[in-house]
């Protein structure tokens, strides 16, 4: 009767949970081994669950069209940067980037091309930023950027380079280039800022640039 628990004979040496096998009865030994196997299965299930949760969190934070984070993730990162700037006095800026004339692109070339233009802009912005910067799509044709450890001159230079990069890389649509341009507003994060306040200033700065560009044409 006890033979059914003798898969590992006492003479085999070794231990279970730190207890030498030859000090255990066959039944106790089998129960301990079973418990260890169940614990390992549980640990594997928990590890798989953690991976699934991380994947769901990534999806919740991701834009549904472009390869960028979404507004939810951007606001969370913006709150973090504001707190860091408040505590350490680290210079940081928000850029508000708007794709000019998306409606005209949609009307002339269709919404598929309009979506392609947004993806194209997202890729340009992502490739031109540092690994410490954050870029996200925060609205239909709007992108937000977070830049830390930059003075105002460097931040404005970055904005200029981004605008030039977009203008220099038209969207190819069926062999026909579609010229693109962006308007970029810049706002410095201050110690008493909130996410809404600094975004509003960057948004206002962007519209000032857009209106100035229109009046210059």
Q: Is 141 a catalytic residue?
A: yes
- Provide CB contacts within 8 A for 67, sequence distance 6+: 119, 122, 123, 126
DSSP assignments along 114-128, one per residue: HHHHHHHHHHHHHHH
Annotated catalytic residue, options 63, 98, 133, 141: 141
Q: Scan for tokens 């350490």, then name that residue.
A: 88
Q: Scan for tokens 């000032």, then name that residue.
A: 208
Q: Which helix (H) or strand (E) holds 183?
A: strand 182-188
Tell me the backbone φ, ψ of residue 119, rounded to 5 degrees. -65, -40
**Residue of 153, 146, 151 lying closest to 129 (CA atoms):** 146
- Residues designated as active site: 141
């Amino acid at each position: 009767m006890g033979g059914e628990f003798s898969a590992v004979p006492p003479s085999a040496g070794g231990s279970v949970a730190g207890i030498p096998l030859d000090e255990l009865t066959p039944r106790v030994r089998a129960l301990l081994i079973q418990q260890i196997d169940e614990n390992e299965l549980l640990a594997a299930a928990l590890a798989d669950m953690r991976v699934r949760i991380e994947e769901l969190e990534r999806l919740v934070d991701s834009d549904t069209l472009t390869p960028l984070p979404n507004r939810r993730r951007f606001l969370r990162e913006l709150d973090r940067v504001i707190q860091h700037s408040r505590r350490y006095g680290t210079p940081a800026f928000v850029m508000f980037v708007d794709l000019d004339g998306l409606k005209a692109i949609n009307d002339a070339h269709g919404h598929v091309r309009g979506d392609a233009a947004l993806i194209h802009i997202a890729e340009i912005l992502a490739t031109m930023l540092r690994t410490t910067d954050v870029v996200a799509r925060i609205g239909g044709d709007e992108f937000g950027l977070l830049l830390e450890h930059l003075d105002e001159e460097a931040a404005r230079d970055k904005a200029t380079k981004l605008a030039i990069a977009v203008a220099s890389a038209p969207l190819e649509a069926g062999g026909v280039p579609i010229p693109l341009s962006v308007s970029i507003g810049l706002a410095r994060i201050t110690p008493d800022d909130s996410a809404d306040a600094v975004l509003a200033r960057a948004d206002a700065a962007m519209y000032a640039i857009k209106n100035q560009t229109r009046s210059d044409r």
